[in-house]
Amino acid sequence: MLKTILAILANQHFDVEIAKKIASQIECDFFIDRAPENLDTHPYVLMVDGNKIYLQQTGRKAPGPIFAEFTEGAVDHRRKFGGGKGQMIAKAVGIKAGVYPNILDATAGLGKDSFVLASLGSQVTLLERSPIAYCLLENGLNRARDFAQENDPELLTVINRMQLIQQSSHDYIASLKTENLPDVIYLDPMFPEREKSAEVKKEMAAFHSLVGKDEDADLLLPLALAHVNYRVVVKRPRKAPFLNNQTPSFQLEGKSSRFDIYTVKKMPEKLTRS
């Protein structure tokens, strides 16, 4: 399926080997240049440009590129000036002074929420089953780590709290043993109704259409509740129905989204995981 809609493109000749490796892993066509006859055959290209990998829709009036970024822009600004433990996401997962739960982000996407949680002090395991999203996220984390090693020790600490795994969330969670359950499982699945929202940028709508919707998301909630120490947190559009039609223990609501919190047992007053 991906082979018909996505191609891997090396922007420079020295990017060829990396691009070939990605093309082999994802099983997609591979090109070395931006020749129109190449680009016109695929609605999307995954561009390898030096140390950066990004997703680009082709054709006239195509939206801008999609990539994972942790060293600048909105994500980095939020790390430095975003409100710390007072943020709604921090309250949802239970982060506060002396409490830094181990978190499993089972629907990592481009890693923005995981980065926020890691910047607040939690160890975060990121799961991503889409080979495209995984490729973009892995590249973003690698670029951030390389930058931080030379320029930003605090950022390096945050990146080192994030462990990325390419695997189905269903398979990973089902395999968890009692002795290594996460304290919190965080779910932010992509849903069909999001594409209709005016708040979804054209770039991200294209990303969602390529990566696909999490049509099996309802099945994740009962599985997560059976494999977590303290709580499952589900991020939802503000007016969306409950995941799996299951009423949460409590909610935190913002302007466009909300957090549904499903409590298994009370979180301790002191909690730090290595």
| pLDDT single digits (tens) 209-219 | 777 666 788 99
Task: Out of 83-87, 131-135, 136-140, pick the least confident.
Answer: 83-87
- Degrees to nearest 5, angle at CA 33 with 29 and 37: 70
What gap in Å lies between CA 104 and CA 109, rounded to an integer? Answer: 13
What one-letter code names the amino acid at 210? L
**pLDDT(201) > 80:** no
pLDDT for 14: 75
Give 127 or 38, the one with higher predicted confidence. Answer: 127
pLDDT for 28: 86
What gap in Å lies between CA 164 and CA 105, rounded to an integer? Answer: 10
**pLDDT(208) > 50:** yes
Can you tell me which residue has the tokens 């830094």?
100
Which of left, alpha, beta for 124 (phi over 0: left; psi -120 to 50: alpha)?
Answer: beta
pLDDT for 100: 97
- Degrees to nearest 5, angle at CA 42 with 37 and 43: 125
**pLDDT(63) > 90:** no
Residue 73 φ then ψ, to 5°: 75, -160
What gap in Å lies between CA 44 and CA 56, rounded to an integer? Answer: 6
pLDDT for 196: 47
**Span 227-239, pLDDT tens digits:** 999 999 999 999 9
pLDDT for 203: 64
| Tokens read off for 52 | 């950066």
Give 37 or 40, the one with higher predicted confidence. Answer: 40
What gap in Å lies between CA 249 and CA 35, rounded to an integer? Answer: 55
DSSP string, the chain: -HHHHEEEEESSGGGHHHHHHHHHHHT-EEESS--HHHHTT-SEEEEEETTEEEEEE-STT----B----SSHHHHHHHHHS-GGGSHHHHHHT-BTTEE--EEESS-TTSHHHHHHHHTT--EEEE---HHHHHHHHHHHHHHHHHHHHH-HHHHHHHHTEEEE-S-HHHHHHH--GGG--SEEEE----GGGGG-TTS-HHHHHHHHHH---TTHHHHHHHHHTT-SSEEEEEEETTPPPGGG---SEEEE-SSEEEEEEESSPPPSSEE--
Can you list the domains of the chain with their CATH numbers? 2-57 (no CATH), 73-272 (3.40.50.150)
**pLDDT(77) > 60:** yes
pTM of the model: 0.91
**Span 173-195, pLDDT tens digits:** 999 999 999 999 999 987 654 44
**pLDDT(69) > 60:** yes
End-to-end CA distance of the chain: 41
